[in-house]
Amino acid sequence: MPTPNPTIAVSAPGKVLLAGGYLVLDREFTGTVFGLSARINIVAQGIHTSEGVHLTEIVVESPQFLEAQWRYGYHLAEEGGGIKVTQLQVGSRINKNPFVETTLNFALTYIARAGKFRPTHSVKSARLTILADNDYYSHDGSSGSGSGNASTPSSSSSSATPPATPSRFAHFPTTLGNAHKTGLGSSAALVTSLSAALLTHYLPTSVFDLGSAAGKRVLHNLAQAAHCAAQGKVGSGFDVAAAVYGSCHYRRFSPAILSTLPEAGAPGFAAQLERVVEGTAPGAEWDTEVVKEAVRLPAGVAMRMCDVDCGSESVGMAKGVLAWRAKEPEKAREIWNALQARNERLEEVLREGRTDEIREAIHAVRELVREMGVRSGVPIEPESQTELLDALETVEGVYGGVVPGAGGYDAAAILVKDDDATVKRIEEFLVKWSKEKSSKVKLMGVKGELEGARHEKLEVYQGWV
């Protein structure tokens, strides 16, 4: 018999929308999405108590950061409201984390329904440890990059002692709220990996199997619902799709699918969430399209990310682009149709390994992205990024690059020869560029990769949990 509520580890990747920014908001169009080697990792384990002591508590912690522990009690809400968590004080404070709290509400409610549990008895107390690969945050040597012992964990964080050797999980001497994100999709990867960890920890593989197509579908639908609720809006969902499935050709789901879902804890939430996740809600069947085999890179080509360490507000940018589209619908449709065709050609060039055509295909995409930016008044590919991308093309081994996703100032994605000599040339170029331009641009360690959410071996996290 399998051990109930085993200690398990899962991870989900970050994302980059190489082509399809803004278009992916509309079901008529698609996006070319790459998963990334940078992952959000979750270790789920039971909380062991003395004999006769019974806890109903979920503890979530991120030991890489200061003051990053969230404790929740949970109870069964009235009138079919599902399992609702209530945040508890840690010391003298309550530090809100809507992504963690919402995911717990959604995942525990679905687990209780799927597992036919009596919630306060069978959903046992658990500890969930979050570990993020270093490339999710901008940092330098002074912030503990690559070292687990840069500073002492706060007393309200995990009691684990970080490893003293260089690690893929840095310890940052700052709170999570003050950390500078690099725009790799940390919230979607967190919601997805946390959902996967809870499902795997509490449910037998006969009910949920992360490695199966059915398990991926359940995870995708649950994570999309939780992520949209945590954000307070229904987004395109490409970031969650990448976290679940990895690299793919993506067409968004109809927003109406989630329109019938009450708030967590509200009457009828549990039954409706189950119908939404299972895809059996009347008139609200999932219509997401995820085509994994459509997206891949040629042999010997890697996708790398440059951290520009500036940051953009993608929500405000999206509003600007959509306002322009409403004002000039005919011109916008002309540009979007043309851009869709160019995006698909870039996808085809990469899939078929036509490396000699990569630069031309990228230029064709960037041309229309810049036109969209000028017409909408939104800096999708700002002049500083245009200058950087054009200059990077002069480096031997660089095929070309784009400002991914919604665009702006915070990142660049480049396609390069996958060898150490090219990496060294790019790094040397960016050191010189940053000095000359009084900016901070660096090549990140992260690469594009195909795989989505997956199980991990526990020994990877030794010293942290």
Q: What is the pLDDT of residue 236?
A: 95
Q: Do domains 8-292+452-461 and 297-449 have the same CATH topology?
A: no
Q: Name the nearest CA neighbour of 388 among 368, 411, 406, 420.
A: 411
Report pLDDT digits (tens) over 195-219.
Answer: 999 999 999 999 999 999 999 999 9
pTM of the model: 0.91
CB 164 within 8 A of CB 148: yes
The two tokens of residue 100 are 């963690």
Each domain of the chain, given as residue ranges in start order, spans 8-292+452-461, 297-449
* Residue 31 pLDDT: 98
Q: Are 332 and 378 in contact (CB under 8 A)?
A: no
Is pLDDT at 120 greater than 50 in this prediction?
no
Read off the pLDDT of residues 315-325 as tens digits, 9 standing for 90 and up.
Answer: 689 899 999 99
Residue environment code for 51-65, b if the CB has 16+ CB neighbours within 10 A, otherwise e: eeeeeebbbbbbbbb
Q: How confident is the model at residue 50 (pLDDT cuts 50, 70, 90)?
A: low
H-helix or E-strand containing 373?
helix 358-376
CATH class in words for 8-292+452-461: alpha beta
Closest CA to 450 of 295, 344, 306, 343: 295
Instruction: Say if residue 425's pLDDT is above 50.
Output: yes
In sequence order, the β-bridge partners of residue 242 are none
- Name the CATH superfamily for 297-449: GHMP kinase, C-terminal domain (3.30.70.890)
| Predicted confidence (pLDDT) at residue 69 exceeds the cutoff of 60 | yes
pLDDT average, residue stretch 77-82: 95
- Give the whole-angstrom CA distance, residue 334 versus residue 330: 6
pLDDT of 251-304, one tens digit each? 999 999 999 899 999 999 999 999 999 999 887 789 999 999 999 999 999 999
